[in-house]
Amino acid sequence: MKHIFADLHLRLNPKNLASASRIVTKAASLGYDLIAVPFLPDTQKEEMDKLSEICKSAKIDFVNRVDLQARTRDQLISQLRKLRRRYELICVSCETKEIARQAAKDRRVDLINFPSADYTRRFLDKAEAELICNSLAAWEIDAKPLFLLEGSSRARFISSVRREISIAKDFKIPIVISSGVSNEFLLRKPREMVALAGLFGLDEASALKAISTTPVSMVKRNREKLGPGFVAPGIDVMKEGDDC
Amino acid sequence: MKRSKRRYLLLQIDVEGSLNEREFLDAIWGSIARLYGENGASLTNMSLIKYDEEKKSALIRVSLSALQSVRASLALITRISDRSVAVQVIKISGTIKSLGARTAQ
């Protein structure tokens, strides 16, 4: 079976199309079939369309995503209400425990990311895991800190993620592994990402799931939901009007 | 004594400018040692079979049991001598012969 590989966190600069094009071409040559690009909540549709065109020419599926960095719970809820139907993926970057808890409870959130490599600011404990497993969200792990950190800080980061993965496994939380990079020299093949996931204690099958099945099915589910005829999972409007 | 199984890895080196064999080999050993320690590095039985500076490709041999560790270490090489580098594994094989055609290209 051929895997469809996805990188749900490829940081492209919509203002620098030459660099974006280089990174997208590189991602396609490394074997990725789908990439998600994070945008700011107020990004213009034209900018997204330009990146979408670049991806189309590189024969790679483009997904738009927004990273929410709310300061308070109410701000997060308001952003979710405003942006849910505009973006195919919504990720919440959790800087505080309050935001992490709210993101884990909310069924409009697709991805939960803990951007800090500092273990005191990563909030995937058992309480958080229990909330996530009752929602539709997946936990996203960026590989970027592995490339940027060195020595004891990298060891501490690997140790934190390994502990969090064991909690995630206990609660059956879906895991997504992304690159989180903005430079083509930091892009790695999907199989290298699997090898890197091994550092976190993920076996090969789980790592492959985290870079192919889980992200791809999440994007598919959201595209169905954002479709014009969607009512509920499995229910679509097929025909409208007086003659129904 | 039973001979341990080995794997041959054909590597492509994406680098700005050029890189000599010594720098490349030191970078691989350094990355493995940083990630797994000196003992871990010794268990990989890594050796450089061929290095082509012009084509920016290399062929290394590692112990099968350390394959994933070496792949992870190679993936973590990002800079060599202040130059951005990415080492990609192009092909893995159990025999050097099957990689021959690919190396010749």
Name the strands in the sheet holding B6-15, side by side, starting at the edge strand that comes first in the sequence.
Answer: B47-52, B57-63, B6-15, B83-93, B79-80
Candidates A62, A85, A80; CA nearest to A8 is A62
Tell me the chain A residues in contact with residue B89 when contact means C-beta distances shorter than 8 Å. Answer: 189, 191-192
Q: pTM of the predicted model, to two decimals? A: 0.89
What's the pLDDT at A44? 86
pLDDT tens digit sequence for A166-188: 999 999 999 999 999 999 999 99
What ranges do the domains of chain A cover?
6-225
pLDDT, tens digit (0-9, with 9 covering 90-100), for A195-227: 999 999 999 999 999 999 999 999 999 998 888
Per residue in B12-35, pLDDT (tens digit) is 999 988 889 999 999 999 999 999
Does residue B81 surpass a pLDDT of 80?
yes
Give the integer Cα–Cα distance in Å for B90 and A73: 47
Spatial distance between the Cα atoms of A171 and A167, rounded to a whole number of angstroms: 6
Q: Which two tokens stand for residue A66?
A: 């927004």
Q: What is the pLDDT of residues A21-41, one digit of tens each?
A: 999 999 999 999 999 999 998
- pLDDT 10s digits, A46-99: 888 999 999 999 999 999 999 999 999 999 999 999 999 899 999 999 999 999
How deeply is A140 buried, as exposed, middle or buried, from its count of CB atoms within 10 A (0-12, 13-18, 19+)?
buried
Torsion-angle region of B77 (φ positive above 0: left; ψ -120 to 50: alpha; else: beta): beta
For residue B97, name the pLDDT band (cuts at 50, 70, 90): confident
Q: At what angle do helices A97-105 and A126-133 cross, to 10 degrees?
A: 20
Indicate the fold that domain A6-225 takes in CATH.
Answer: TIM Barrel (3.20.20)
Q: Using the beta-carbon criterion (under 8 Å), do B76 and A195 form an inter-chain contact?
A: no
Contact, A192 vs A143, CB < 8 A?
no
Which ipTM score applies to this complex?
Answer: 0.89
What pLDDT, on a 0 to 100 scale, did the predictor assign at position B98?
81
CB within 8 Å of chain B, chain A residues 169-188: 183-188
Minimal CA separation from B55 to chain A, in Å: 18
Measured CA to CA, the distance from residue B31 to residue A158 in angstroms comes to: 15
Q: Do A188 and B89 make contact, defined as CB atoms within 8 angstroms?
A: no
Report the residue of A32, A161, A192, A208 to disrupt the B interface, i.e. the one with the largest count of B CBs within 10 Å.
A192
Query: Which tokens is A184 given?
Result: 């083509």
pLDDT of residue A226: 86
Asked if residue A150 has pLDDT above 80, the reply is yes
A12 pLDDT more than 60:
yes
pLDDT band for position A121 (50/70/90)? confident
User: For residue A64, what pLDDT is reported?
Assistant: 92
What pLDDT is recorded for position A53? 93
DSSP string, chain A: -----EES-----TT-HHHHHHHHHHHHHHT-SEEEEEE-TT--HHHHHHHHHHHHHTT-EEEEEEEE--SSHHHHHHHHHHHTTT-SEEEEE--SHHHHHHHHH-TT--EEE----SGGG---SHHHHHHHHTSS-EEEEESHHHHH--HHHHHHHHHHHHHHHHHHHHTT--EEEE---SSGGG---HHHHHHHHGGGT--HHHHHHHHTHHHHHHHHHHHHHHSTTEEETTEE----STT-
**Residue A112 in this model has a pLDDT that exceeds 90:** yes
**DSSP at B11:** E
Which of A159, A184, A188 has the most B C-beta neighbours within 10 Å, making it the best mutation to test the interface with B? A188
pLDDT at B60: 94
Minimum CA–CA partner of B83 in chain A? A185
Which residue matches tokens 């099958």?
A: A205
With beta carbons under 8 A apart, name residues in chain B contacting A185.
14, 78, 84-86
